[in-house]
Amino acid sequence: KAGVTQTPRYLIKTRGQQVTLSCSPISGHRSVSWYQQTPGQGLQFLFEYFSETQRNKGNFPGRFSGRQFSNSRSEMNVSTLELGDSALYLCASSLPIAAGTDTQYFGPGTRLTVL
């Protein structure tokens, strides 16, 4: 079974631009979560989508948004990029069983550099 895939793997943008990252979950998984990983802040939860609805949200500004499609694929968007948005953006998918918590499996991440 194929794992979580993320595209693109690397991205370079300039301040003020916007960016869209894509995540394809493991087949059959319906929950997709996004995380930001930086050396200073570690892994921080952005949001989670389940059945095309945002179910959980972290403490990030409104510039960070996401969506999920009917095939469970998800995209996240960051508008008006800032230098501090440079990070590894990770996507994780899980079944889950009913509406509960289940193990999350991560993709390789998208490395975003903002210049």
Partner 1 sequence: GESVGLHLPTLSVQEGDNSIINCAYSNSASDYFIWYKQESGKGPQFIIDIRSNMDKRQGQRVTVLLNKTVKHLSLQIAATQPGDSAVYFCAETRYNFNKFYFGSGTKLNVKP
Residue 12 or 80: which CB sits closer to partner 1?
12
- Is residue 107 at the binding interface for partner 1, with CB under 8 A as the rule? yes
What are the Cα distances from residue 50, in Å, to 63, 70, 76? 21, 10, 14
Contact 8, 107 (CB under 8 A): no
Minimum CB distance to partner 1, residue 54 (Å): 11
Stretch that binds partner 1, among 14-22, 61-69, 74-82, 92-100 (CB under 8 A): 92-100
Stretch that binds partner 1, among 13-21, 28-36, 61-69, 71-79 (CB under 8 A): 28-36
The answer to whether 60 contacts partner 1 (rule: CB under 8 A) is: no
Q: Residue 101 is which amino acid?
A: T
- In sequence order, the β-bridge partners of residue 81 are none
Cis peptide before 25 (omega within 30 of 0): no
Please state, in angstroms and rounded to a whole number, the distance separating the CA atoms of residues 29 and 44.
21
Binding site for partner 1 (CB under 8 A): 4, 31, 33, 35, 42-45, 48, 50, 55-56, 58-59, 90, 92, 94, 96, 99-109
